[in-house]
Chains A and B, each alone.
Chain A
Amino acid sequence: MAKATQHELVIEVKNMCKNFGPTKALRNVDVSFYRGEIRGLVGENGSGKSTITSIISGMQKATSGEVFYKGAAWNPGSMVEAQKAGISMVLQEANTIPNCTVAENIFAGRFDEFSVFGIVNMKKLNKAAQEILDSFGISHIKAEDSINRYGFEDRKLIEIVRCVSDDTEVFVVDETTTALSMEGRQLLYKLIHKLKDNDKSVIFISHDMDEILEQCTDLTVLRDGEIIGHLDRSEMDKPNSEQVIRYMMVGREIGDAYYREDYDSSHGDKVALELKNVSLGEIKNFSLKLHEGEIIGFGGLSGCGMHEIGRIAFGLEKPESGSVERNGEKIKGCFEAIQSGIGYVSKNRDTEALILEGSIQDNIVLPSESELSHTTFISPKKEKQMSDKEIASFRIKCGDGRQWVNTLSGGNKQKVSFAKWTAKGSDVIIMDCPTRGVDIGVKQFMYGLIADMKKQGKSIILISEEMAELIGMADKIIIMKDFAVTKEFMRSKELSETDMIEYMI
């Protein structure tokens, strides 16, 4: 890589290839990482960003090629080995150990430092853990508490605390910020800048272009497993940099047609889904009417109750009082919900929405087996036809429908979890953070799909932590705070994020 820099080279990747079966995730990649920089890695889902960092941090081996770390050949056997050598990585999905305390999680694998003759001094361990938590400014997390008490975001912060120590030389942040609120993000930004100032190297993977442009000092763009180019700070500061980067990522003009262009919030008269005075836990007497051809967006901070509304509407959570109805029938569980034409794209893609150790076809046809079954017989040909149709229309990047979902990139996985419901022909789709962790190309595709669904008269509940997405796509936006509705906005050209924020916090 041609980089005129005074900074010292810390990691050098030479001619790296990585194959997953027939899929070539990396093709002869050459890239170098330097001290004192925050290097952004951007590219569409499946472009190879995480593959590079996961090889550097010991999660997996390259098929061919070399890595040099501090001048010596580097081939770590595990993430622990890499971490001990100073390379730490935080991932998008939860990576903490359940049923243990926060302190035990922070010092996992390092109990020797606190033990004498095999007996761990828990008091000392808890004290040291709390000191670290305090130094990171997250004193609300208590070292001796069980990790189960904390939500996804706090666990992510605990994970970050675990990863970073005085010995950290290279810190990899892999799409972690999507799991964090503004507060958590600020904390992480502060940390990576501190590391940079201390002459450490930070590799930052994100799909949030604003974040990348604000936080990174350098940028490397990948596409289809190849390095497309590098940008330094001055190039990133140019007014058209965002368009340039997007073009490099996708290989074509993304254009301005990103969200819905119309401001027509009209919809059918018929109610497609109704929540009547629903109460569950802290949610009290919540009512909602979703009409045919309507997109209702839900916004708020994590923990505001919007995700729970989605789960109640799909029958996953049974309300203590009130009811969920569709076509006059009560929805008592997700079985009835699906039978009545409701689909649900879960926020927890890898644990709830997909069978990772199953093929794309297995996943797509699973909700539709009853329709495919004829006197107990399910025709493999019909299954393949259904799956192939969805793979083609969603442009899922894969060999064929037999490919396992766990070999797909995040965006393609998300397409599979969408495809299940389009294959089923669901008329009401509840989407909980449908574009979380997916790149702009896939996002654009999904927004187009949502807009088409509306035109077809389908009804959508769009739960999202991204306000721009809600403003861009929803006919009506419901803002929630502390499990209650604080404001409703109708679709409007004038609506801005600042209008909404004051009702969230």
Chain B
Amino acid sequence: MSEKEKVTPADFLKRHVYDIAAYAGLIVTFILFLIFSGSRLSYNMATVLQAASAYSIIALGAVFVYSMGYMDVSVGQQVGVYAILMIMITNAMGGTAFGVVIGFLVILALALLCGAFNGAVAVWLKLPSIVTSLFLMFFFTGAQLLLMESTGTNSISIQATIKPADRNMYNVMLVLAIIVVAIIVTYFFKFSKLGKYTRGIGANEVTTAQCGVNTTKWKVIAYMAFGACVAVGSFIMLTRTGSAGKGTGSGYAMDIMICLILGGMPLSGGMKSKVSSALVGTFTYVLLTNDLTTMGVDLNLINFVKAVIFIAIIMVTCRKRDTILPR
């Protein structure tokens, strides 16, 4: 082994450009947040936390799928249907805590099933995962509309208490939920076969398979892990809104993708995938939205501004082909 030579600051910068850009984005949006929040800082912080909680939990689960270089565009519709189903089941059971538990278990089972379907069908039919998730997206769009039609209203509310009455207590609960999910995801992503194999699949599926990894099985497991996070994220979202309707969850899939990219997740997956991308990206995204609002940007213009910032970040973090030392 050759002696270890000193890494220059320029080399360090070059090697960590994506991480630096992602964290710089978070820091800048956070500084703007501090400046423009002014006297409403603590209120705004709670708002950001509540807005980010569901996103971050779903994005954490999505790390497994994105690290394989895959994506899932059905998340939004799944969130909508799970929220509606949970409300309907809980209400049908008299709004009891038992009803909430049963409701959650049902949506968890459904989410795991959809995850398994997404992973397995994509593998068996050799389809890109986006195609199967498109199928699920249409399926869940239909299911969401049918479920809401059956209620005869545009929106239904849960008749059970699913969040602490105290706002501070609720915020602590959200922070704990994010921390617990982040720890579980980090454990499985960094220290178990699941994360190592999903990254391997993203980096080179053929090699990973030739190392004795049953890639079909691990793809299905990765999608199921994502499904579990979608179920938890849907529940967290429901604790915030307390109601759901035809539009619940719309745009979530794209938002999750943007969060992960902002956090430095490579869309092609692979060994550079990181759990931190989910948290850094989600908070950057939510803070950015909050900053633009508090800065007084016209609501109609916010999406345009986001688009410009998004493109700018992509340009900065655009991955060049890694320098390859030829033979």
Contacts and interface: CB of A to CB of B under 8 A. Distances in A.
B154 to A, nearest CB: 45
Given A357-B270, A380-B191, A366 B4 contact: no
Interface in B171-221: 187-188, 191-193, 196-197, 199-200, 203-204, 206-214
A359 interface: yes
Contact of A366 (B5, B187, B188, B213): B213
B192 A406 contact: no
Interface stretch (B89-97, B224-232, B242-250, B319-327): B319-327
B210 A352 contact: yes
A410 B327 CA distance: 5
A137 interface: no
Contacts of A377: 187, 191-192
A242 B327 CA distance: 22
B193 A376 contact: yes
B327 A45 contact: yes
A118 interface: no
A338 B212 contact: yes
Contacts of B213: 335, 366
B209 A334 contact: yes
Contact of A355 (B2, B15, B208): B208
Interface residues of A, number: 64
A419 interface: no
Contacts of A367: 211-212
A174 B2 CA distance: 25
A117 interface: no
Contacts of A24: 5
A369 interface: yes
Q: Is the interface of A mostly helix, strand, loop or mixed?
A: mixed
Contacts of A395: 1
Interface string A11-32: 0000000011111110000000
B4 A22 contact: yes
A447 interface: no
Interface string A397-410: 11110001011111
The winner among A354, A357, A408 for most chain B CB atoms within 10 A is A357
23 contacts: A20-B323, A21-B7, A21-B11, A21-B15, A22-B5, A24-B5, A49-B327, A60-B323, A60-B324, A335-B213, A338-B212, A354-B207, A355-B200, A356-B324, A357-B271, A359-B271, A366-B196, A367-B212, A373-B193, A378-B191, A378-B196, A379-B191, A409-B326
Interface of B: 1-2, 4-7, 11, 15, 187-188, 191-193, 196-197, 199-200, 203-204, 206-214, 270-272, 322-327
Interface of A: 19-25, 45-46, 49-51, 54, 59-60, 92, 174-175, 314, 316, 334-335, 337-339, 344, 346, 351-359, 362, 366-367, 369-370, 373, 376-380, 391-392, 395-400, 404, 406-411, 420, 437
